[in-house]
Every structure is written in C-alpha cells, then in structure tokens.
Amino acid sequence: MEKKIASVAENATARRHSCEACPLRPLPVFRAFEPSELDFVSHFKRGELAVDRGATVLVEGSSSPHLYTVLSGWGFRFKLLSDGRRQILNYIVPGDLIGLQGSIMGEMQHSVEALSALVLCVFERDKLMQLYGRHPGLAYDITWLASREERMLDENLLSIGRRSAIERAAYLLAFIHERARTVGLATRSSTAIPITQQHVADTLGLSLVHTNKTLRKLIQRGMIEWRDGGCEIVDLGGLLKLSGWEGLDEGKRPLV
Amino acid sequence: MEKKIASVAENATARRHSCEACPLRPLPVFRAFEPSELDFVSHFKRGELAVDRGATVLVEGSSSPHLYTVLSGWGFRFKLLSDGRRQILNYIVPGDLIGLQGSIMGEMQHSVEALSALVLCVFERDKLMQLYGRHPGLAYDITWLASREERMLDENLLSIGRRSAIERAAYLLAFIHERARTVGLATRSSTAIPITQQHVADTLGLSLVHTNKTLRKLIQRGMIEWRDGGCEIVDLGGLLKLSGWEGLDEGKRPLV
DNA sequence: CGACGTGTTGAGTGTGATCAACATCTGTGG
DNA sequence: CCACAGATGTTGATCACACTCAACACGTCG
C-alpha cells in the first residue's frame, strides 16, 4: 500500500471548528480556560488538517513547521531501526499534542501515523515563542503535557522491560482503553480500538505470531474481543489485575 | 543495606556554588544565559543537597516540594512492579533536571537513586510559576529539557523493544558514555561509568546472568572493560556500529 | 572470621522467535 | 461475475535466545 504523507497545504481548512465551540473542551477531563487564553489559542490555530487512515502525519528526520492537537481520531508514534524493525512508542487520541519535540528541538525523532481518519488542529510553530511570552499559564500547560507524555513512556518502558508477554498485552490494552475512555472514545459497546495485531506486536516488542497466541489467551479468558479489525475491552478489571497496573490517575488536564 | 533517603533539611547548603561561578555552565554544550536569567536562577536556587552513593533522592508516590539540577555525580530514575521487579528508565548526569514530573503533576511516578555521591542544586517548586511568568525563555528551556528526556525515552523504548541483547547492551553503554562525555565526565582514561551489571540488567530488561554473558562478549570483542565496579568504554565506534545507533545529535542546550 | 555485594560459569528449562501453511475478507481488474 | 492479490488472523512444528537454578571466586567491611 502506498503511504500518503499528509500535508497542510493539501488538506487544510477542510472544516473549521471554532475554538470557542471546541467539541473536546467541554469534556470533564479538561480544565477550564480563561477567556484570554481561549482567545489566544483561537488565533494560534491556523487551520485544520484531515488525515486518512494509514497516512503518515510526521516523519522522523523532518522538521515540521507545525504543531498539532488531535481533534478526533486515533494515531500512533513510532521509530524504526535501519533494518525495518518498528517500535511503537505511544498511541495518540483526541486532546493529545503532537509534534512538540520537532517544534522545540528542531527535528522530529519519531514518526506519526494515523490509525483511523484523523482531524488535527494546526498551530504555527513560530507563534510558540509568543505563547510562552504572553501566556505563562499556557506555557506551563505545554510543559505539563510534555511531562505527561514522559510519564506514559516511563510506564511503557517498565512494561516492556519487566512484564511477561501476557502481562504486557493486558497492560497495553487497559492503558489504551483508559486513555480513550477519558476523552469519550471506546465507551462500552461503541467503537473498538482500531488496531491490528501487528500494531500490538510492534508496541510490546513481540513477534506477530506470539502476539496472536497471547491475545488468544486474553480472549479465552473473556477479557477482550477481537473483531472487524479492532479490539474491544470486555473485562477492564481483569486486565488491570493481570497486569498489576493501577490505572490512569489523572485529574483535570489542559487542552491546548 | 539500609537505604538512606536524602532530605534537604539534613544536608542542605553543605557547600554553595554561586550560579555566577557555576562549574557546569562554561561547558561548551550549554547555551549562554542572559544576565537577567542568571540572576533569576540564582534566586531560584535555594541551596545544595549532597547525596550519598546508593541513597534515594526521590521516591515514587511522594510529592517533593523541590526541583533539582545535578551539579555533579551520577544517578538513575527507575520504577518498580509490586513484586519487586525493577526497571531503570534513564540515567542522570550533571546538568540534568530532576523532579520536574513531580513539580508539574503533583506526585512522583518514579524514584531516583544516586549511583555515586551526588550534589544537587535545590530549587523551590513554588517559584516555578514565577519563572514561567517572568522568564519565558527559561520556561521554554524547561520544556526543551522535558522534550529531550522524552526523546531519550523514545530511544530506550526502541532499544528494549526491538534490539537483541547484545545490541541493547552496546547501545546502552554508548548512550551513557556519550551523555557523560558531553558534560566532561568519562573522558578517556578518567572515571569509568559507576554501574553494576545489575543496573545494566535492570535497564535492558534482561536477567543478571544473561547480562553478564552478554557483557562478556563485548569485553571479548575489545569494546569495553569492566573493572572496580564500573564500565570503561574502549571502542565507542564499535558499540555504535553494533547497535546501529546514530549517536547523540545535540547542539547547544539549556542549563537551568 | 563470616556476611555481603559483585562477578563468573555451567546445566537444564521455557518463553517467545521463526518457518510454514492455511483461512477469511477486502478490493480490484478482467 | 469470477479470479486474484493483499491484508489480516490462526495454528502447529521446530529452534534459539534468554531465564532459572546452582555453585563458586573474589573483594570489602564489620
């Protein structure tokens, strides 16, 4: 399959949600914003980018002039070794900020791909300094989001380094499900998590075959279901117990 | 061994380096600071904390009122599973900022332990908001450092998830060596990296025995030496080639 | 001296990798 | 409408990398 690379010029401003009527912001997870902050963000936003399923949003090694917040859809961050081995670093759900590393440090050190159709709010990288100068609260929020990403990576590292295959799988699916739940996705009997077993394998650091056998065990234990190219969580408690994970413990968080 | 927990009240201000005469700042890796920034950091700094080798600096689950920059010495961040399995997340060398996660998000999600005697600059968590308000440049720097940590974690995750044991070991040792080199540690025939094979094992996600056998291969290939409780890098190029790692690619960076 | 931390090595085991084949389902072109 | 290719999931057989258990060497420190 030919992979498309999303470009702003191409697809931008197909639709335009005003920040004042942001569909995400009303969710209970997100902290309330000052009107002045909302106003700034509104000007900070340059447009929207619609990305097809399977398309690459950001490429390792490139330096994107943009910063994005996910408005809707699923995606993932990953890195490749030179021989093609792939490691998925984290998943991306609505409300997540992507491309910060590239904006701050100049060059992307990982790639981002869309798991489903994706709509992104596009921000100008150049205005980021302005944000830091005029809105310390928002600047703090961005650091907050970077710290949160770091925390999730710590958890993933712990999981891959020290958990067994079945524990890892249980942790991963519980983790993704929890993240999705907080932003209104993957509610009971709504949409499944749109990943293939290859994605799971590349996240857990396991082979595809062994991932399949491991997931089969979770299915047999009645913890998950796998259907039409996705995973449905049936028994979250069971997954948490099996993995020994405490679950996400986040209060309100910022949305930029 | 009884593990000590470092506390500021106990050891603070044993010595006091003025920020104006900071021994780290002159190093070529660090970017130049505005006098006003230097002045603020100087007031931001509350004192120094001397930590013994093996002592715990920060504990998972606690919420420290401080933020630290490492002035000298080595340490590492880690997480534990409930049954005691340990995963080392990253190593800490002079110039690194630690405790940011706790300062920003309220509670530490990982612990920090000293690998060698450690001297830390202590900053007040409460003044962090002030920093964001008055010095956007420094605020940006802190986000920069958070992004950098994220980048290192991405690399580690790729390594643990997708590299073989010997590749992982080669990558890890090259990585630590490079980080140390940029801040003037571990120069040729100076100090070795002060880690045990247990640390390496807990970083790579391998057992102690298998780590030993893997390191032995690196020794036999003449890439490293292991002596008096530490690792000496002999053939950096060989390690880089074996692991397929590009090496650190950092320009100037901030020091807060 | 003995206890402990650290490193080393061998033997046997097992988790997870690799190879291979096949079942579905989808979309595509003849 | 069918044939075919490609993506995805499934299963069995075999192999190997890494784990566990066990023992021992060597240092330091009380």
Q: Grade residue A190 by pLDDT with cuts at 50, 70 and 90.
A: low
Interface of A with B in 166-205 (CB under 8 A): 202-205
What torsion, rounded to 10 degrees, do the Cα atoms B27, B32, B34, B36 define?
-30
Using a 7 Å CB cut-off, which residues contact strand D?
A 1, 196-198, 208-209, 212-213, 215-216, 226, 229; B 164-166, 205-207, 209-211, 214
Report whether pLDDT(A36) > 60. Answer: yes
**Interchain CB contact of B164 with A (< 8 Å):** no
Find the CB nearest B144 among A104, A203, A204.
A104
Report whether pLDDT(A87) > 70. Answer: yes
Q: Which parts of B75-167 are beta strand (E)?
A: 75-80, 86-92, 97-98, 111-114, 118-124
* pLDDT at residue B251, rounded to an integer: 84
Chain A environment of B84 (Cβ under 8 Å):
none
CB A209 under 7 Å to nucleic chain C: yes
Q: Grade residue A116 by pLDDT with cuts at 50, 70 and 90.
A: very high
* pLDDT at residue A188, rounded to an integer: 55
**Contacts of residue B167, Cβ cutoff 8 Å, sequence gap at least 6:** B159, B242, B243, B244
**Interchain CB contact of A114 with B (< 8 Å):** no
Q: Grade residue A1 by pLDDT with cuts at 50, 70 and 90.
A: very low
From the list B122, B130, B143, B145, the residue with the least C-alpha distance to B252 is: B145
**Interchain CB contact of A139 with B (< 8 Å):** yes
Nearest CA to CA, how far is B15 from chain A (Å)?
31
Helix axes B197-204, B208-220, angle to 10 degrees: 110
Contact A132 B140 (CB under 8 A): yes
Collapsed DSSP state (helix, strand, coil) of residue A248: coil
Domains in chain A: ranges and CATH: 8-150 (2.60.120.10), 154-243 (1.10.10.10)
* pLDDT at residue B18, rounded to an integer: 87
Find the CB nearest B160 among A82, A105, A160.
A160
* pLDDT at residue B157, rounded to an integer: 98
* pLDDT at residue B3, rounded to an integer: 53
Taking the C1' atom of D18, which residue's CA lies nearest?
A: B210
> For residue B217, how many other CB atoms are within 10 A of its CB?
14
User: Higher model confidence: residue A187 or residue A240?
Assistant: A240
Contact B154 A153 (CB under 8 A): yes
Q: What is the pLDDT along chain B (256 residues), one digit of tens a residue?
A: 445 566 544 455 445 778 989 999 999 999 999 999 999 999 999 999 999 999 999 999 999 889 999 999 999 999 999 999 999 999 999 999 999 999 998 899 999 999 999 999 999 999 999 999 999 999 999 999 999 999 999 999 999 999 999 999 999 999 999 999 999 886 555 568 999 999 999 999 999 999 999 999 999 999 999 988 799 999 999 999 999 999 988 789 999 9
* pLDDT at residue A187, rounded to an integer: 59
Contact A147 B82 (CB under 8 A): no
Nearest CA to CA, how far is B148 from chain A (Å)?
8
Find the CB nearest B150 among A149, A162, A205.
A149
* pLDDT at residue B1, rounded to an integer: 44
> For residue B226, how many other CB atoms are within 10 A of its CB?
19
Q: Identify the sign of the CA torsion A176, A180, A181, A183.
A: positive
**Interchain CB contact of A155 with B (< 8 Å):** yes
Contact A154 B244 (CB under 8 A): no
- Through-space separation of residue B15 CA and nucleotide C14 C1' in angstroms: 54
Beta bridge partners of B193: B231
From the list B186, B182, B178, B256, the residue with the least C-alpha distance to B225 is: B186
Do A197 and A211 form a contact (C-beta atoms < 8 A)?
yes
- Through-space separation of residue B1 CA and nucleotide C1 C1' in angstroms: 21
Query: What DSSP string runs through A208-246?
Result: HHHHHHHHHHHHHTTSEEE-SSSEEES-HHHHHHHHT--
- Through-space separation of residue B2 CA and nucleotide C4 C1' in angstroms: 13
Collapsed DSSP state (helix, strand, coil) of residue B85: coil
Do B74 and B114 form a contact (C-beta atoms < 8 A)?
yes
Collapsed DSSP state (helix, strand, coil) of residue B157: helix
Query: What DSSP string runs through A151-162?
Result: HHHHHHHHHHHH
User: Higher model confidence: residue A6 or residue B30?
Assistant: B30
Nearest CA to CA, how far is A156 from chain B (Å)?
8
* pLDDT at residue A24, rounded to an integer: 94
Query: What would the mean pLDDT of A93-110 be, rounded to a whole number?
Result: 94
Q: Is B30 exposed, middle or buried (CB count within 10 Å of its CB: 0-12, 13-18, 19+)?
A: middle
Interface of B with A in 12-31 (CB under 8 A): none
* pLDDT at residue A2, rounded to an integer: 46
Query: What would the mean pLDDT of A241-254 be, rounded to a whole number?
Result: 91
Contact A147 B101 (CB under 8 A): yes
Contact B146 A151 (CB under 8 A): no
* pLDDT at residue B35, rounded to an integer: 94
- Through-space separation of residue A124 CA and nucleotide C7 C1' in angstroms: 54
Structure tokens at A146: 């970077």
Q: Grade residue A7 by pLDDT with cuts at 50, 70 and 90.
A: low
Find the CB nearest A139 among B82, B105, B132.
B132
* pLDDT at residue A172, rounded to an integer: 98
Beta bridge partners of A102: none
Residue B34 CA to residue A46 CA, distance in Å, equals 32
- Through-space separation of residue A218 CA and nucleotide D5 C1' in angstroms: 32
Query: What would the mean pLDDT of A133-141 be, rounded to a whole number?
Result: 96
